[in-house]
A and B are shown apart, each in its own frame.
Chain A
Amino acid sequence: MPIIVADCLSKVYPVAIKQPGLRGTLSHFFKRQNRLVNAVKDVSFEIQPGEVVGFLGPNGAGKTTTLKMLTGLIHPSSGRVRVADNIPFQRNRAFLEKITLVMGQKQQLLWDLPAMDSLRINAAVYGISDREFKRRVGELTEMLSLEEKLTQPVRKLSLGERMKAELLAALLHQPQILFLDEPTLGLDVNAQASVREFLKSYNERFDATILLTSHYMADITALCDRVLLIHQGQLIYDGALDGLLDHFAPYRQVKLELEQTMLDAELAPYGEIESISGREVCFIIHREDLTRAVAKLLAELPVCDLTITDPPIEEIIGRVFKSGLVE
């Protein structure tokens, strides 16, 4: 039985329009004009318990709005949503105890106090006993490598440490469903990797369901088997990550190292050139042509080394939106 059900979910909200300049300011002061924005249109999907699902889409696609409807922060304009057998907007205690939402830079920790104090508040709110509190903090601190950081004022922590402490605070009540909006935004590569690692082990240890949005494809590829792709408020793909590649990017990246540099014109007949840097050339080749193209490259060019990879997902998503594939 699915733990998250979104059925024809839509959200329309008014946004004030103001023209620039003094004239615009004055007319805005006397007469407000609004335009209706269809942030989310007829989005339907189901998520099973324990699944880790990536939520992809460009800025303003409707990802955060959908997460807010799933967590009950905003009321859908139409459609039906059920999370852990509850209607989120009713914000029942039973529902709130099962979920958490982590929003990149939105802090719930008290800025001037050590994170431990905010954690004590959370423990009191969720009715966690002192013994259990110590056990969970110990366990999560270890998983997040946050030892000794919880007794320093939050403002003295680095961005990565603060984000981990926020995660700890958001997971203290051991929620079954995690909604994560850009959980690694602004973190350096090491911190991103450790947050990712943590989420993976949290999912395995507690069989938690995770729905996450991220600008970093590494988050999605490391954590999610399934992705939802949203564009202009509409769900345009729901399926396996590999399927997304096949569906929207039926091509491969072929990287060559040549014995000597060659001109663009000499290389052009072999395929679409993505980049040339000295003796290294990168071609984009349609999957159907791959065998024939590679054989031709090896036969006709002075090749030292050749590798075939999937193009990075950032690029695929970029191509999907640029090429109008989704219009």
Chain B
Amino acid sequence: MQILHKSRVFLSVYYANMLEYRAELILWVLANSMPLIMMGIWIQAAAGGAFSLSSIDFARYFICVFLIRQLTVVWVAWEFEKEVVEGRLSPRLLQPIDPGWHHIANHIAERFARMPFTFALVALFFVLYPQSLWLPRGMGGVLAIAAIILAFILRFLIQYTFAMFAFWTERATAIEQFWYLFYLFLSGMIAPLNVFPEGVKAVVMWTPFPYLIYFPASLLVGLPVNVGQGFGAMLAWSALFWVVNRWLWRRGLKHYSGMGA
């Protein structure tokens, strides 16, 4: 009961906080519109070349990428770095709750604040391009929702783990920016993994990247993926980053000198 009450209060307050940034919310949604640009490129490419996916497949895939990006966007490294460098972590550390819960609540609340704009854009897309409209078949939709939630958890855990380096380097976001380069190419944001050479794809599937976008997007569109391996890999990578995160957190706290506090 206590946990439910705490969650409700945290989410409602952070949701109110997010709604203070009405204009920014629309800009944030639009700022993540790279998948829509990639969609245009790949539709053109599919029309002129031999790919395993048709123009319609590409359109559906990239609208899913857009949606998943909106639902899994994470900025905890920037927030956490600021807290450490400016010493704002100190008051949080003195409360009997892990400071991470503030970030989690903030991210989840932001999802709800952003959702109306995201869905409006997706709806507009289907109005403009009705041929691409489809409904996920059978369990696909349910599995996709589970995969999107897990993708958010994994992405959050990865970035929060990088954020821990703020205790030592004070510029942990540089690590995240370096990592983003790999994320951009290997997650399926620029191209679905179906167009990668088989050997490359096989290797990439062992990394956490494809599970952040490609795997849930494929489930949603109905592209063939290994469901068991996908969920297994997501859980395994999440567990690994969780363990590393907690280890770094404990070490980092010892190192923390309350800079600027």
Chain A positions within 8 Å of B, measured between CB atoms, are 13, 64, 68, 71-75, 91, 93, 96-97, 99-101, 103, 106-108, 110, 112-113, 117-118, 120-127, 153, 170
Contact = CB atoms under 8 A, between A and B. Distances in A.
A154 to B, nearest CB: 11
Interface stretch (B32-40, B45-53, B60-68, B85-93): B85-93
A126 B97 CA distance: 9
Contacts of A106: 87-88, 90-91, 261
B78 interface: no
B94 A124 contact: no
A71 B261 CA distance: 13
Contacts of B93: 72-73, 91
Given A93-B96, A103-B90, 19 more contacts: A68-B90, A68-B257, A71-B94, A73-B93, A74-B257, A91-B94, A96-B95, A100-B94, A101-B94, A103-B261, A110-B17, A112-B20, A118-B13, A123-B9, A124-B10, A125-B96, A125-B97, A153-B20, A170-B91
A113 B87 contact: no
Contacts of A122: 95
A153 B94 CA distance: 24
Nearest to A15: B257
Interface of B: 2, 5-6, 9-10, 13, 16-17, 20-21, 87-88, 90-97, 254, 256-258, 261
Given A113-B16, A120-B13, A127-B2, A74 B258 contact: yes
Contact of B13 (A96, A97, A113, A126): A113
B13 to A, nearest CB: 5
B91 A101 contact: yes
Contacts of B90: 68, 73, 101, 103, 106
Contacts of B94: 71-73, 91, 96, 99-101
Contacts, number: 78
B171 to A, nearest CB: 13
A125 B95 contact: yes
Nearest to A110: B17
A110 B15 CA distance: 12
A170 B92 CA distance: 11
B185 to A, nearest CB: 30
A101 B91 CA distance: 7
Contacts of B20: 112-113, 153
* Residue from A74, A91, A93, A153 having most chain B Cβ neighbours under 10 A: A74
A122 B21 CA distance: 23
